[in-house]
Amino acid sequence: MEDLSVVYASALFDLATERNAIDEYLSQAVVLRDVLRDAECQRFIKHPQIPSSEKFELIRSAFSGEMCDDLLGLVSLAIAKNREAYLLPALTAFIDTTDRFQKRVTARVTSASPLDEGQLVSLKEMLSNKLGKSVEILLAVESGMIGGPYIDVDGYYVDRTLKKQLHDLTNQMKEGCRV
């Protein structure tokens, strides 16, 4: 049987598409996912001793007027059926499905120092052209890196760090000596 979180995500995507409200559903799903990622919220939502009515009331009151009926319906259904553990994976799967549908990806870029605005724009344009998709960049600075970026996007990895370049050069020199 297909993972229930995928079934929930697929149903939500179908509703969003049917209602021509993908962007609205997406933005609301991102907010809800980010709230549900909180460890304290997870403990509350998954706690077996807390009645379903209290769990749903917390979500409903927190997002009153901010969330569409279909998304609230998904939350209500999951809570009523004691399937709270599927909510976060379902929202994540819905967001991923929507991103694929809209040809949008997130590139995780790690570098030794922050990239300036010009570098970010150039990198974003280059990745968008290569992938044929809209690219959002999540930049992380790792002071332990010597130099060069490491990019992880859409299943592809580009390692242009100085450490990797030195490793490759060392291997090339070893291969050259064996000839």
Domain with CATH 1.10.520.20 in the chain: 4-100
What pTM value is reported for the model? 0.71
Query: What DSSP state is assigned to residue 132?
Result: T
Residues of the chain with CATH 3.40.30: 103-178
Pick the CATH number of 4-100 from 1.10.520.20, 3.30.390.30, 1.10.10.10, 2.60.40.1180: 1.10.520.20
pLDDT 10s digits, 55-66: 888 888 888 788
The full length of the chain comes to: 179
Residue 128 has pLDDT above 70, yes or no: yes
Question: Residue 177: pLDDT band by 50, 70, 90 thresholds?
Answer: low
Exposed / middle / buried, residue 114 (Cβ in 10 Å: 0-12, 13-18, 19+): exposed
CATH number of 103-178: 3.40.30
Do residues 120 and 137 make contact, with C-beta atoms less than 8 angstroms apart?
yes
